[in-house]
Structure 1
Amino acid sequence: MLTDTRTTTVLPVSDMDRASRFYTDQLGLKEVGRLPDGSRTFDLGHGNGVSLLPAEEGSQTKHTVLSFEVSDISGEIRELEGRGVRFEDYDTPDIKTVDHIADMNGEKAAWFCDSEGNYLCLHQAP
């Protein structure tokens, strides 16, 4: 059954070395594999992973492609900012952030981009 499987999120990157440094140095993930096509995979824990796939510039989308569920979003933001991650701030009719965090009916979320322009998110369940 699909509910019993491990997953790997595949993200397009135009500069593999730069992206790999971001995922290891700034997010603290461990690289666990390389494939002949040039893609690299990083461990997300619990058997899940993120794979970086070589792609042309502009292959990235403008929506969230990967979200990390955390128990202390403020603490995670501080830790990642300490490693150079820059969080997005929003002030729109749909989303308003305070200290980088949007409160959406009790669920908290904060967004940042990786080195390639992929939108990533931290979220904390209510």
Structure 2
Amino acid sequence: MISKSPITTIIPVDDMSRATTFYRDTLGLTDLGDSMAGNHALRTAAGSAVELMPAPGEHTSHTVLSFEVDDIVREIADLEGRGVRFEDYDTPELKTEGHIASAGSEKAAWFKDSEGNFLCLHETHLS
């Protein structure tokens, strides 16, 4: 059944070397090398897969990948220490404080990868 299948997120990148360095060295994903499809594969410690697809000039304007974290404040501090810059918003629809948008039990923070794609950290505490 498809509902039991692992998922691979494919992200368009301009510069494969730069993007690989960002995902491997800055975000800490495990580098798996080139895939059969000609993309470059990486994996999180939890087993989620990311493939970087060469696609010069194809940037997204929406979140392409979100990492679920236990402590968003700690993760932001860690990534900022690695040079990641977080987005801040102050609109009627979305306001961040300390880079974090909160809605009930959910918190989220956005940043861009080396290629300009939006990535997200999210934390959810269910009662």
TM-score range, shorter chain: over 0.9
Partner of 2:96: 97
| Structure 2 residue identity aligned to 1:49 | A
**Structure 2: which 5+ runs fail to align?**
none
How far is 1:46 from its partner? 3.6
| Structure 2 residue identity aligned to 1:70 | V
What are the residue-to-residue correspondences of 1:97-116 with 2, within 5 Å? 97-116=96-115
TM normalised by structure 1 equals 0.94
Provide the C-alpha distance between the structure 1 equivalents of 2:2 and 2:46, rounded to a whole number of angstroms: 15
| Structure 1 residue identity aligned to 2:115 | E
How far is 1:35 from its partner? 2.9
Provide the C-alpha distance between the structure 1 equivalents of 2:83 and 2:39, rounded to a whole number of angstroms: 24
> Can you list the C-alpha shifts for 1:78-117, whole angstroms capped at 9, x where unaligned?
0011111110000011110000000022200000000001
Partner of 2:33: helix, strand, or coil?
strand
RMSD of aligned residue pairs (Cα, Å): 1.2
**Structure 1: which 5+ runs fail to align?**
none
TM normalised by structure 2 equals 0.93
Aligned length: 125
What are the residue-to-residue correspondences of 1:34-113 with 2, within 5 Å? 34-35=34-35, 38-57=38-57, 59-113=58-112
Instruction: Give the percent of matched residue pairs that are identical in Structure 1 and Structure 2.
Output: 55
Matched, 1:25 2:25: yes
> Can you list the C-alpha shifts for 1:43-79, whole angstroms capped at 9, x where unaligned?
123432000000021x111110100000000000000
